[in-house]
Amino acid sequence: MQATAQTGNVVSFEKPPRVHVIYLLPPGDWSRFEAGLLSMARRFRGRVRVIRADRLELGRTSSARVFVSSTVPSILVLREGEIVAHTVGALPMTEVKGILEGIMMAPEARPRMCRERDP
């Protein structure tokens, strides 16, 4: 939702995305992978922010210790500042889409990872 102030400036009332996808590409031609990732991420427009980073930027913006490959792409997914998914390798975009869909799902709709035992 947007509103125009009397001065002509556009003021946005939308919440900023709570999910950030940070991807790091190793040296080489990864343009097809990057294009596929950005195309897939458009389906989550407004809910996900996609950021391309390098190792130095990642180190400056996050204190998390994660493995980042120097030969294949790495993707980190953060929700409200916490890493909730981490992939290493040129995964098919259907896999990445599935990961994002699971993360975007409401907490009460997510499948339980383990069953509670009856007392």
Do the domain assignments include residue 119? Answer: no
Counted residue by residue, the chain has a size of: 119
Do the domain assignments include residue 78? Answer: yes
Do the domain assignments include residue 107? Answer: no
Do the domain assignments include residue 42? Answer: yes
Do the domain assignments include residue 117? Answer: no
Rounded to whole angstroms, how far apart are CA atoms 56 and 71?
Answer: 16
| Per-residue pLDDT band at 57 (split at 50, 70, 90) | confident
Of the CA atoms within 13 Å of residue 48, those in its CB half-sphere come to 26
Do the domain assignments include residue 118? Answer: no
**Domain enclosing residue 24, as ranges:** 14-89
Of the CA atoms within 13 Å of residue 80, those in its CB half-sphere come to 2
- Number of domain units in the chain: 1
Do the domain assignments include residue 33? Answer: yes
Taking the whole predicted model, whether its pTM rises above 0.95 is answered as no
Query: pLDDT tens for residues 81-90?
Result: 888 899 999 9
Task: Read off the CATH number of the domain in which 72 is found.
Answer: 3.40.30.10
| CA-CA-CA-CA torsion sign (55, 56, 59, 60) | negative
Do the domain assignments include residue 95? Answer: no
Query: pLDDT tens for residues 8-25?
Result: 444 444 566 678 899 999
